[in-house]
Amino acid sequence: VLVGHSLGGATISLAAQADPDRIRRLVYLTAFLVPPGQAAGTLAMSDKDALIRKAVRRDAATGISSIAPEAAREVFYQDCSDDDVRMALQLLCPEPPTIGGARLQLTPERYGRVERVYVECLQDRAISIGAQRAMQAAMPCKRVVTMDTSHSPFLSRPGDLADVLGGLAG
């Protein structure tokens, strides 16, 4: 079982395409569930209700993105404690443009045979609930679980998230 959060959704999709026989289930945790031939970055930029553009700073020369610390709480961690936000800010690191810009080459014969589950987060400001549900409609999942959290339920409600993921492990 692979869990992908946010942009990690594209990563787990590519893993399923590469080796579907080793993966029973993909869990998209308020993540980009990208249709074949599309790119996560394109989906992110089309989400007009998200605040992600407020937080991401992209270096024009390298394409490397980083998160503006002053916008991080509002976009990613609004329901998290001050201590958790301080810790999360220390863990953020620059990200290359590779995965966000890649058009995912996913096939029904490989990626398509791996079960998908989506954990949507109602208060997410990085990927709006409307965008999460549009991705689910375009790429149906076997099950959808709803959490009333921000983009970071692993910080704001770790016990509840552990219960959800534990229930999906079997």
pLDDT in tens, 58-88: 999 998 999 999 999 999 999 999 999 999 9
How many of the other CB atoms lie within 10 Å of CB of 147?
19
Q: What is the pTM of this model?
A: 0.95
What pLDDT shows up at residue 153? 98
